[in-house]
């Protein structure tokens, strides 16, 4: 990939890692089996509603606008061709 000469000749350095490591980065969405596996919202951890979207069962949280497909018996039997 070619870059503009102003970029390549400017003498700037590329920093591969963040310079501020004093504050750890923590994800606020919890997709663990203890939360989502029990039908709770990964953001607020309240029970989600069962909804049908395009003939697919899903969990939905109106407050956080999150939808997650529900597992079904066909998931384990599907194979790609």
Q: Which residue has the higher pLDDT, 78 or 20?
A: 20
Q: Give the pLDDT confidence score for residue 16 in this predicted structure.
A: 67
The predicted model gives 5-32 an average pLDDT of 76
- Please say if the pLDDT value at position 20 is more than 50: yes
User: Of 64, 58, 26, whose CA–CA distance to 45 is shortest?
Assistant: 64
Task: Report the length, in residues, of the chain.
Answer: 81
The pLDDT value recorded for residue 5 is 81
| Domain definitions of the chain by residue range | 48-72
Q: Are 23 and 37 in contact (CB under 8 A)?
A: no
DSSP β-bridge partners for residue 53: 56
Query: Is residue 18 predicted with pLDDT exceeding 80?
Result: no
Quick check: 68 pLDDT over 50? yes
């Amino acid at each position: 990939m070619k870059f503009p000469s102003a970029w390549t000749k400017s003498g700037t350095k590329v920093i591969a890692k963040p310079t501020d490591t004093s504050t750890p980065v923590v994800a606020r969405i919890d997709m663990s089996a203890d939360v989502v596996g029990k039908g709770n919202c990964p953001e607020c951890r309240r029970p989600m509603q069962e909804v049908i979207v395009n003939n697919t069962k899903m969990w939905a949280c109106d407050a956080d606008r999150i939808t997650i497909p529900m597992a079904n018996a066909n998931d384990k039997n599907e194979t790609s061709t």
